Amino acid sequence: MDTTQLLKGVLDLAVLAVVAERDGYGYDVVRRLRAAGLEDVGDASVYGTLRRLYAGGLLTSYVVPSEEGPHRKYYAVNDAGRAQLGASTGTWRSFTDAMDKLLGTEGEEAA
CB 89 within 8 A of CB 7: no
CB atoms within 10 A of CB 60: 15
Minimum distance from residue 20 beta carbon to another protein (Å): 19
Among 2, 39, 44, 110, binds another protein (CB under 8 A): 44
User: How many Å is the maximal CA-CA distance in the chain?
Assistant: 53
Among 36, 52, 88, 92, binds another protein (CB under 8 A): 52
Please report whether residue 97 would count as binding another protein according to CB under 8 A: no
Facing residues of 106 across strands? Answer: none
DSSP 38: -
Please report whether residue 62 would count as binding another protein according to CB under 8 A: no
Facing residues of 64 across strands? Answer: 72
Please report whether residue 46 would count as binding another protein according to CB under 8 A: yes
Residues that bind another protein (CB under 8 A): 8, 11, 25-28, 42-49, 51-52, 55, 69-73
